[in-house]
């Protein structure tokens, strides 16, 4: 790993949050992700499953975490199973966690090698009346690819059909969505890297530059600051490309007079940042571009004020829609008649603003959380309204990362990143 070791008190706290919510005489199992093959002997870079990472800090493949608060053996209340390391593995693959290093990382004292798992698990499950299984229940999840977790669940259900099955996901969604101070510090570090990348671009972008060159500048800045790189696939969309919400080709030349929409963010220690800014290729917005930019900015500033404890996200999105209606009427894009005749399921504003305003942010860019419950202090959300006008070849979206506060407006982790149109123009032309 490139990042500094994280204080294990974070993971000790996180495990306590989970076990406090478990039913009596149950155990929970969390598996690492697979290393996914491409073809021949090629693989994708390893990315740890965020749940085992959140609970243990273990950032390597072939790892298993077992939590069993009611275990008769006190040493078995928390157990890590790791791939056994050796001199040969160290030569071919690099250093893996030793038992001592695993304890220093996680705060878990009982660490076994992975080959011991079948025997020890059989002993543990015999004591338990139920088991928490970890399934991916994110609302946007793609679950076509079978995971290590999926294979484990199949095996447990076949081998132990009499045990009660419980879901880990509702607990994980609740506890992961409220960030500890250490997590916020890691996210702030990712945001500062993103700021450095964005400021670098303000002196780099000019007519004739290619979208992939902009992506390369960001990658350079992120990597040199000990990030693995982008928290998600970067969007560098100039001109009409900005009207494609998930444009990731980044292969077009930036033309004089166009605006570039940048939806990019660095990761640090697996925590995400998520930024969107719009930059005029030639360093100056046209009056029309600036009018649309300022309309989006107005909606963003007003929407941020709504991210306070007690807010229900479905109602929040409706209120943001009303804010956007007003701006679109002012821009001449929709009329009051369009609003009067709109269908409730597809309001008039959605012709130009068709996506949600905010999502949870954390270990995943679209982090887990319970959308039907009121938001609370310590949650982190993006705020990213946008206006997309294909007929004008113009798309504007503005986005920051916000920490909900106990009192008052949220704290902006990206408050130092240039946002006002005039400031961006000044920096590009200085």
For position 274, what pLDDT does the model report? 98
Q: What is the pLDDT of residues 396-423, one digit of tens each?
A: 999 999 999 999 899 999 999 999 999 9
Tens of pLDDT, residue by residue over 225-248, are: 999 999 999 999 999 999 999 999
Domain 9-176 = CATH 3.40.350.10 = yes
Say whether 181-428 and 9-176 share the same fold. Answer: no
Task: Return the pLDDT at 48.
Answer: 97
Q: 91 falls in which pLDDT band (50, 70, 90)?
A: confident
pLDDT at residue 265 is higher than 80: yes
Q: How does DSSP assign 213-230, residue by residue?
A: HHHHHHHHHHHTTT--SB
Q: According to the model, what pLDDT value does residue 80 have? A: 98
Tell me the C-alpha distance between 178 and 302, whole Å. 23
Cβ neighbours, 10 Å, residue 155:
11
The pLDDT of residue 169 is 98
| Kind plus residue range of the DSSP H or E element containing 414 | none
Q: What is the pLDDT of residue 153?
A: 98
What pLDDT sits at residue 381?
98
Q: What is the structure's pLDDT at 2?
A: 86
H helices within 49-98, ranges in order? 50-56, 87-93
- Chain segment 370-402, per-residue pLDDT in tens: 999 999 999 999 999 999 999 999 999 999 999
Over residues 286-299, the mean pLDDT reads 98
Query: 181-428 has which CATH code?
Result: 3.90.230.10
Cα 298 from Cα 331, distance rounded (Å): 13
pLDDT of residue 140: 87
How far is residue 175's CA from residue 182's CA, in Å, rounded to a whole number?
Answer: 14
pLDDT band at 144 (very low <50, low <70, confident <90, very high): confident
Q: Which whole number is the average pLDDT over 2-24?
A: 97
Which pLDDT value is given to residue 85?
Answer: 80
pTM of the model: 0.96
List pLDDT tens digits, range 157-190. Answer: 999 999 999 999 999 999 999 999 999 999 999 9
pLDDT one-digit tens code per residue, 326-357: 999 999 999 999 999 999 889 999 999 999 99
Confidence band for 93, pLDDT divided at 50, 70 and 90 = confident
Count Cβ neighbours within 10 Å for each residue of 219-246 and write b for 16 or more, e otherwise: bebbeebebbebbbebbbbbbbbbbeee
The number of CA neighbours under 13 Å toward the Cβ of 236 is 24
Q: Where are the domains of the chain?
A: 9-176, 181-428
pLDDT at 344 (0 to 100): 87
């Amino acid at each position: 790993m490139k990042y500094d070791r994280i204080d294990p008190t974070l993971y000790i706290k996180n495990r306590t949050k989970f076990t406090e919510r478990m039913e009596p005489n149950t155990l929970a199992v969390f598996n690492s992700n697979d290393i996914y093959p491409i073809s021949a002997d090629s693989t994708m870079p390893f990315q740890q499953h965020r749940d085992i990472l959140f609970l243990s800090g273990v950032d390597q493949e072939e790892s298993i975490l077992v939590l069993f608060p009611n275990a008769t053996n006190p040493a078995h209340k928390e157990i890590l199973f790791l791939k056994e390391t050796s001199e040969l593995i160290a030569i071919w693959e690099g250093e893996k966690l030793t038992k001592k290093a695993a304890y220093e990382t996680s705060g878990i004292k009982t660490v076994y090698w992975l080959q011991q798992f079948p025997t020890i698990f059989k002993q543990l499950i015999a004591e338990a009346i139920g088991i928490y299984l970890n399934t991916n229940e994110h609302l946007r999840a793609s679950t076509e690819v079978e995971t290590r977790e999926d294979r484990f669940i199949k095996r447990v259900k076949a081998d132990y059909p009499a045990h009660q099955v419980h879901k880990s996901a509702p607990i994980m969604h609740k506890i992961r969505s409220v960030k500890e101070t250490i997590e916020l510090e890691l996210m702030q570090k990712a945001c500062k890297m993103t700021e450095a990348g964005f400021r670098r671009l303000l002196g780099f972008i000019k007519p004739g530059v290619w979208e992939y060159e902009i992506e390369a500048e960001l990658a350079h800045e992120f990597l040199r600051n000990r990030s693995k790189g982008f928290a998600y696939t970067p969007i560098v969309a100039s001109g009409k490309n900005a009207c494609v919400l998930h444009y990731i080709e980044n292969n077009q030349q930036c033309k004089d007079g166009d605006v570039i929409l940048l939806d990019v963010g660095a990761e640090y220690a697996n925590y995400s940042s998520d930024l969107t800014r719009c930059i005029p290729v030639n360093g100056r917005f046209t009056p029309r571009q600036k009018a649309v930019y300022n309309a989006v900015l107005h909606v963003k500033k007003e929407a941020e004020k709504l991210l306070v404890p007690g807010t229900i996200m479905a109602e929040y999105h409706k209120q943001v829609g009303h804010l956007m209606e007003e701006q679109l009427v002012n821009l001449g894009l929709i009329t009051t008649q369009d609003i009067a005749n709109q269908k409730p399921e597809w309001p008039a504003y959605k012709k130009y603003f068709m996506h949600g305003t905010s999502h949870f942010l954390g270990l995943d860019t679209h982090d887990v959380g319970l959308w039907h419950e009121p938001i609370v202090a310590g949650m982190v959300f993006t705020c990213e309204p946008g206006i997309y006008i294909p007929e004008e070849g113009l798309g504007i979206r503005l986005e920051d990362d916000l920490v909900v506060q106990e009192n008052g407006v949220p704290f902006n982790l990206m408050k130092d990143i240039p946002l006002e149109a005039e400031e961006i123009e000044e920096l590009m032309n200085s």
